[in-house]
Amino acid sequence: MKINRLNSIIILGLIAIIGILIAQLLWTKEAFTLEQKKLSQKTHIALLEVAKKLYEGKSHELPAQNPVQKVANDYYIVNIDNDFEPDILEFYLKTEFKKMNITTDFEYAMYNCQSDEMVYGNYISLSEKGKGKQSVYFPKHKNLVYYFAVRFPNETSYLFSSMRFWFVLSLALIFILLIYVYSIFTILQQKKYSELQRDFINNMTHEFKTPLSSILIASKYLIEQNPIKEDKKLHTYTDIIIKQSNKLNSHIEKILNIAKSDYTPLELKSEAVLILPIMEETIQNIQLKYPETSIKIESPLDEYQIETDAFHFTNLIYNLLDNAVKYCDSKPEITIRISTENQTLKLEFIDNGIGISSKNISFIFDKFYRVQNSKSNEVNGFGLGLYYVKKICNLQNWKINATNNSKNGTTITLSIPYKK
């Protein structure tokens, strides 16, 4: 089974983020190991200095062999061949640890020759939480007479606290990964719903077209019959059936075209097009449909030529005019104003319709969106006309926007790149 582009991007993105996360975790582990070694080195130096100070003023000299031994990650012993006082030891430990910037809690114990066991010294806390704590057990070591032991009960938490940046960065990456996974899940769900929606629209419209075609054929045959022609009411009713069936057929075709364009991108055939003849022809079609409509063109020049797809440009103009007429509660009056400014051709469609509230005007180009007001409830449509217009503009890098007029109605402006 072929993997489409979206699935490839999703998989590659997921692999990339997981790879970055694994690399970050490995870097964090390595940083923790380095911090551990750094603390061990500083502790060795501090304890060696303590041993030197305990030898000061004594007849014995510090042995050549390093007296500091690391028994475990958080446990050290220091061999001293001299007797020493606990208070002096504690003072030296505090002083040297402070010099080496070792700011975590520690506890110490000393060997008692008389009892042949380790005697607990003190728990040195740098915070209120640690005060009053006491270690349960300091093991006795063989072949040593005068020595003391130091333990860091909070070494792991101390190392973690010194690596806040690494952990924050790792958590941020994990959070980004979760967001990415959630976003991908949402995209796939939306894609699934979009495909279901498209299939439903296609099936629904195709199912509608078959009976609708039969209704149109039967109605056109019916209206040609003499009894129908002679009866004014029956002729009017039959004519209504034909007109409404044609309108419904037009809506169905529009839905099918939009659904198709969402699945398969529209391909525009650009060519040099004179816009005024297209506008005049479209205005005639609109006025045939709405005879009471007044439409005028204001143009400083007799002709303008642009590169576009003539078919879709015609549909674009028709949709804008048709929309302006439908949303007008009086005699429709529309002005098409053409102007040029800074290599831009502007087409302004100014109507005298009901207008749009400021909170809704930014949504009028959305698919299926219809302004909620009393007039829109009387108009048949699916909110696809302006969506189609926006899509054609986007495909050609044109700009379109809508604004409310100072008195009433709306102005929709097309901005088209233009070279004379």
- Residue 345 three-state SS: strand
Residue 308 pairs in a beta bridge with: 271
Q: Where are the beta strands (DSSP E) in 257-324?
A: 271-274, 294-298, 305-308
> Which tokens belong to 398?
């044109």
Does residue 379 have a pLDDT over 60? no
Output b/e per residue, 135-149; b: 16+ Cβ within 10 A.
Answer: eeebeeeeebeebbb
Residue 340 pairs in a beta bridge with: 345
Which residue in 393, 386, 385 sits closest to 415, CA to CA? 393
Residue 297 pairs in a beta bridge with: 336
Does residue 2 have a pLDDT over 60? no
Residue 403 pairs in a beta bridge with: 411
Which residue in 274, 283, 272, 333 sits closest to 301, CA to CA? 274
Q: What angle do CA 284, 290, 296 make, to 5 degrees?
A: 50
Number of H helices, E strands in the chain: 9, 12
Which residue in 218, 198, 247, 272 sits closest to 381, CA to CA? 247
Helix, strand and coil content of the chain, in percent to the nearest 5, comes to 55, 15, 30
- The domains of the chain, with CATH numbers, are 5-161 (no CATH), 164-263 (1.10.287), 271-417 (3.30.565.10)
Q: Please state, in angstroms and rounded to a whole number, the distance separating the CA atoms of residues 414 and 332.
A: 21
Q: Please state, in angstroms and rounded to a whole number, the distance separating the CA atoms of residues 377 and 373.
A: 7
Does residue 374 have a pLDDT over 50? no
Contact 306, 416 (CB under 8 A): yes
Cα 353 from chain centre: 37
Q: Where are the beta strands (DSSP E) in 212-293?
A: 271-274
Does residue 94 have a pLDDT over 60? yes
> Which tokens belong to 49?
């200095």
Does residue 235 have a pLDDT over 60? yes
User: Is the whole model's pTM more than 0.75, yes or no?
Assistant: no
- Residue 215 three-state SS: helix
Q: Give the largest Cα separation in the chain, rounded.
A: 140
pLDDT, tens digit (0-9, with 9 covering 90-100), for 167-212: 787 788 788 878 878 888 887 787 777 777 777 766 766 677 778 7
pLDDT, tens digit (0-9, with 9 covering 90-100), for 13-26: 778 878 887 887 78
Backbone angles phi, psi at 42, to 5 degrees: -65, -40
Residue 245 pairs in a beta bridge with: none
- Strand-pair category, 147-151 with 271-274: unpaired
Sign, CA dihedral 23-28-33-37, equals positive
- What is the per-residue pLDDT for 129? 56
Q: Please state, in angstroms and rounded to a whole number, the distance separating the CA atoms of residues 193 and 200.
A: 10
pLDDT higher at 77 or 8: 77
Q: Please state, in angstroms and rounded to a whole number, the distance separating the CA atoms of residues 184 and 99.
A: 52
Contact 78, 68 (CB under 8 A): yes
- Residue 78 three-state SS: strand
- What is the per-residue pLDDT for 263? 59
Contacts of 78 (CB under 8 A, 6+ apart): 47, 50, 51, 67, 68, 69, 147, 148, 149, 150
- What is the per-residue pLDDT for 376? 44
Does residue 218 have a pLDDT over 60? yes
